[in-house]
Structure 1
Amino acid sequence: MSTVIAEGSGTTERSLGMRVNGKQWHAQKKAFRPAAGLTSYEQRAKLRVAQAAMKAKEKELKDEKEAERVKRIATIKERREAKEEKERYEKMAEKMHKKRIERLKRKEKRNKLINS
């Protein structure tokens, strides 16, 4: 095992010598430093702010997608209701006079406005 140390003009090689246990094929171990991986409070705070911003953006996108889905469902329901109502009036038209159906339509619309 040897390390290369860069100096001003050239490189010199410094030998670490033989390992005490004789297992030169193993990687060299470094000193245990429990505080080596710790980050400063400022870095943790920045990371927290960045994660909060990312979560807010994700929530915003998810809410937009959900609103679009709800809007699409509402338009489908409105179309179906309109179609059913039209079919109902067509069935009534087979049995009743046209003027009477128009009166019923107006009456039902008034009731819808009052009830809603």
Structure 2
Amino acid sequence: MLSKGTPMILMGDEYGHTRNGNNNSFDSDINHFQWSRLEEKRQSQFRFFAMTIKLHREHPLLGLRSFLTNADITWHEHNWDNRESRFLAFTLHEGSHSGCGDLFAAFNALIYFVKAALPMPPPGR
């Protein structure tokens, strides 16, 4: 949901729908929307998903219609050449969109905790 373009989501992502690794589940019950699972996750995962959609729609830095320049983003990645790296962090800078502040994002796709240092805030913040 932090995509600069159209976020790629599938029906059921909002409650953690899984096909258990079956990538050819056409015309199978496994594809049916599981309403009971949605109700189970309404106050946790569904709520989180709804809030990320709201963030994407309302945050000025996520709705930009221009390509990022080096002044717009700082990458906090030190393992670009490591194919095993599953951690990525960046800061989108407010630039001319004053008042919204910078936006820091970190993604950890590993199965273990990764310690990440937050970048220093701009002067006076």
TM bucket by the smaller chain?
Answer: under 0.3
Whose helix proportion is higher, 1 or 2? 1
Bigger relative contact order, structure 1 or 2 (CA pairs below 8 A, ≥6 apart): 2
TM-score (norm 2): 0.18
